[in-house]
Chains A and B, each alone.
Chain A
Amino acid sequence: MLLNASGCLDALIAPDVARQLDGFVTKTITPLPREGNAPPRIAETAYGMLNAIGLANPGRERFLADTLPQLRELALPLWISVGGFCAADYAETCARLHDVEAIELNFSCPNVDEAADSAAEIVAACRAATPLPLYAKLSAAHPDVAEVARAVATAGADGLSLINTLRGLALDPRTLKPTLARGTGGLSGPSLKPVALAAVHACHAATDLPIVGMGGITTAQDVVEFLVCGAQHVALGTVLFADPDAPKRIRDALGVVQPDDRRLSARLLEFRANAVA
């Protein structure tokens, strides 16, 4: 299954891009509206980019009343990315969501100052609030991401989304001041891929949860590497900015039209057994 990474595509503005995917993941929804951070919010780095958007979103009520009904008209499986600042924030939004494919719990946006409660506590609260599939989106900044994966699995998560961006800093070459107004931002793009592959591999070994792998995927070869390391599904992020046709290009290159092609699965199991020690 091929998804977009949360916050990297607006399906209402670019439905043709969204329709190349097997499902659309929304930008993270928080209980209250958020304007996001002051510009500049993005900066290109070597082999990657930083963003400090700051979870800009219309807030839960406007999302449920306006955005979600419009998204449903696209007739795509919808994954709703949910954020907040305490377990109750997440759980209340989860309780209000119905008839969507899955909920992705965003624990790891590095652009928000307030620290979230522990991931397991949030998952447990959300588990009690909804029967919908819950995917925990984890950061690889934790010293032992596999430990977090085990904790959210025990708390009732149905899957993992790996990984979110990592905190980084870029300086303007002339002024030597931070390029982003906020200072630091989340690093994404190809420079993140090795970190993401390691996290996917570690969490695959630590839990039985299905994994949506993401982080710097640009080519079909990248997708295969994520699958080999233990991801069942993959999501495209930064590559969508440079190439709105990337989902189709990558799918064509994989030669896989059916997301759950059995031959591919068998081949990947063999890859995993051989390639990942």
Chain B
Amino acid sequence: MDARRERLRVAGAEPIGLYTLLRLERGDLDPGAPGQFFMLEAPGRLLPRALSLCLAPTGELAFLIDPIGPGTEALCELEPGDEIHVFGPLGLGFRLDVERPLLVGGGIGMAPLPFLAEALRFPPAVLGFRTPEHAEAAALLPGAELAIDPTFVTELILPGQDVLACGPEPMLHAVAERCPGAQLAWEAPMACGYGGCYGCAVEIDGELKRLCVEGPVLVSRAA
């Protein structure tokens, strides 16, 4: 494990549409590869929250957070100067050896794509959102094509592209069906992020495996 756990200072927490971009001073933590994730201490909660890195500005680590429960709400309420423990980078990220990359994001699943876009020199991207308010987060990925409900982001995928996707499960299943070999970043509740709790088991090739160790990025099987 190259992961480290450190107490990091909050540099800023800015709303982007309905989400919050939490920026932390990086300390000695390595940003890792796009698609890898970190466990962020959620103030007042027992368990940390798993979040993929959204951006790695100089000296910082930035996370895009959807306040959907008490842990993510507490993270969105952090203020500059606050400190939280952060552990990472963890898991396996996206493979970058792709010829014709297309980034596909759905909702808060767009979180790892800005960092991924940098690593791939800003390839084409398509993003899907439930509402125009959610879609304001697309500002983090300039040039991305948008689909807003009832249009599905999968309708914007053309054949022959190397898809790298992150989003809600139904979207990932739809992408997997259309694009065998696509790299998909999945999500599951996880307590530890480093293989100890067995909470994040998902079915991979017919077996339940730990998403934090074998993923979160998995290659969809050929149809």
CA distance A215 to B111 in the complex (A): 36
A56–B213 touching, CB < 8 Å: no
A42–B197 touching, CB < 8 Å: yes
B122 adjacent to chain A (CB < 8 Å): no
> Which of A2-10, A147-155, A199-207 lines the interface with chain B?
A2-10
Which one of B189, B190, B198, B201 has the highest number of Cβ atoms from chain A below 10 Å of its Cβ?
A: B198
A47–B201 touching, CB < 8 Å: no
A44–B197 touching, CB < 8 Å: no
B48 contacts which chain A residues (CB < 8 A)? 241-242
A233 adjacent to chain B (CB < 8 Å): no
Number of A-B contacts (CB under 8 A): 90
Partner of A42, one of B199, B202, B208: B199
A190 contacts which chain B residues (CB < 8 A)? 46
B201–A36 touching, CB < 8 Å: yes
List 26 contacting pairs A-B, 8 Å CB cutoff, sorted by A: A13-B1, A17-B196, A27-B198, A35-B208, A39-B188, A39-B189, A40-B189, A42-B197, A42-B199, A44-B45, A44-B46, A44-B71, A49-B46, A49-B47, A56-B198, A56-B208, A240-B192, A240-B196, A241-B191, A241-B192, A241-B196, A241-B197, A243-B5, A243-B85, A244-B192, A244-B194
B132 adjacent to chain A (CB < 8 Å): no
Contact digits for A39-52, partner B, Cβ 8 Å, 1 yes 0 no: 11111100111010
CA distance A150 to B197 in the complex (A): 32
CA distance A10 to B196 in the complex (A): 5
CA distance A41 to B198 in the complex (A): 8
A190's closest neighbor in chain B, by CB?
B46
B94 adjacent to chain A (CB < 8 Å): no
Which one of A13, A48, A51 has the highest number of Cβ atoms from chain B below 10 Å of its Cβ?
A: A13
> Beyond A36-B208, A42-B197, is A13–B46 a contact (Cβ under 8 Å)?
no
A238 adjacent to chain B (CB < 8 Å): yes
A53 adjacent to chain B (CB < 8 Å): yes
CA distance A7 to B192 in the complex (A): 12
Nearest-CB distance from A237 to chain B (Å)? 10
A247 adjacent to chain B (CB < 8 Å): no
CA distance A16 to B198 in the complex (A): 19
CA distance A220 to B133 in the complex (A): 47
B43 adjacent to chain A (CB < 8 Å): no
> Beyond A9-B196, A240-B196, A243-B85, is A42–B46 a contact (Cβ under 8 Å)?
no
B41 adjacent to chain A (CB < 8 Å): yes
> Beyond A44-B45, A241-B47, is A49–B200 a contact (Cβ under 8 Å)?
no
CA distance A42 to B197 in the complex (A): 9
A189 adjacent to chain B (CB < 8 Å): yes
CA distance A44 to B68 in the complex (A): 14
CA distance A27 to B196 in the complex (A): 9
A276 adjacent to chain B (CB < 8 Å): no
B196–A8 touching, CB < 8 Å: yes
> Beyond A8-B197, A56-B198, A242-B47, is A42–B5 a contact (Cβ under 8 Å)?
no
Which one of B5, B85, B197, B201 has the highest number of Cβ atoms from chain A below 10 Å of its Cβ?
A: B197
A66 adjacent to chain B (CB < 8 Å): no
